[in-house]
Amino acid sequence: MAYRIWEGREWQDYCLMLLHKRYADHSLQEVPDRHLGDLGIEAFSLDGCAFQCYAALEPLSTQDLYEAQRDKLTADLNKLEKNKAELKKILGDLQIERYVFMVHRLDSRFLLEHAVRKVADVLAMGLDFIHPDFKIVVVTDHHYPVERAAIVSIPAQLVIPELVTEERVSSWAGDHSSLLDDASRKFQKLGLTGGALSAALDSLTYQFLDGENALLQLRERYPDHWTAAQSCRSRREKRLPLEFPASSNTSMRVVTEVADALRDEIARDAPSISGAIAETIAWATVADWIMRCPLDFETS
């Protein structure tokens, strides 16, 4: 299953955005951690919920992920007792009834079992800001569908594709000569020969590899956006024979038209993808179509 890889404070910032959407009426208080460290909670709500966010550094197996999340939860719950005086000062008369552990993915029931066991440990601390019905809840962002939809974009650059070197272009071309033979045949229909044909084929290969790099990162880090981009590509490919029939494609101008149309569709359906990346994906898709034959031309 594809999942996003979170880095640094990204997950914490994202969770706080979700929570501010959930508690839009000034009922959420963040707990800053830059001055003398954190207290075991990222934020608390006036209805008695405390929130702690954690995204383990991927990639991890299910077992390793569970162990990292288990250890993090244990460490943060212990901070409640260690920092009881400071927490009492900021909580006042408020009692924490729910401790919400927000993780980027939840794959093991053993984490839930661990959370249940830790409830007894927290109650045994005898903290007056812990409610008698204290419980621990483990959630992901899928528990906040409305809030997720309200966040149009996450304030971070989605993808920086790996640089495509001349060596990689040459190596890929050598391994996929049959695909480039088809592309060469199509470009010759448009009157390209000699140096112009070679330059077009090199550019086609570069565009394809550049877009594949972007799509790979998108799939690993932002699977929802990758799915949206793939859906756009699939829909547009099915419409190619109607929108751009071979009999009407007699110049290189049509290649740009196809790429521009796909870029605009990706930008509309996946607004969190930057315009530059949408264009990169669009040109890679057109290169793929030219090499695989969905997009053909008539002799000019």
Most confident listed range (8-17, 123-132, 194-203): 123-132
Distance CA 138, CA 65 (A): 14
Would you call 152 helix, strand, or coil by DSSP? Answer: coil
What letters, b where the CB count within 10 A reaches 16 and e where it falls short, cover 6-22? Answer: beeebbbebbbbbbbbb
H or E segment and range at residue 296: none
Name the residue with tokens 């796909």. 262
pLDDT in tens, 42-70: 999 999 999 999 999 888 899 999 999 99
Are the CB atoms for 108 and 62 separated by under 8 Å? Answer: yes
The amino acid that residue 155 corresponds to is P
Structure tokens at 41: 């909670």
pLDDT in tens, 66-86: 999 999 999 999 999 999 999
H or E segment and range at residue 188: helix 177-189
Distance CA 242, CA 75 (A): 60
pLDDT level of residue 155 (50, 70, 90 thresholds): very low
The 28-30 sheet, strands edge to edge: 28-30, 43-45, 49-54, 96-103, 130-139
pTM: predicted TM-score of the whole model, two decimal places: 0.56
Distance CA 16, CA 154 (A): 12
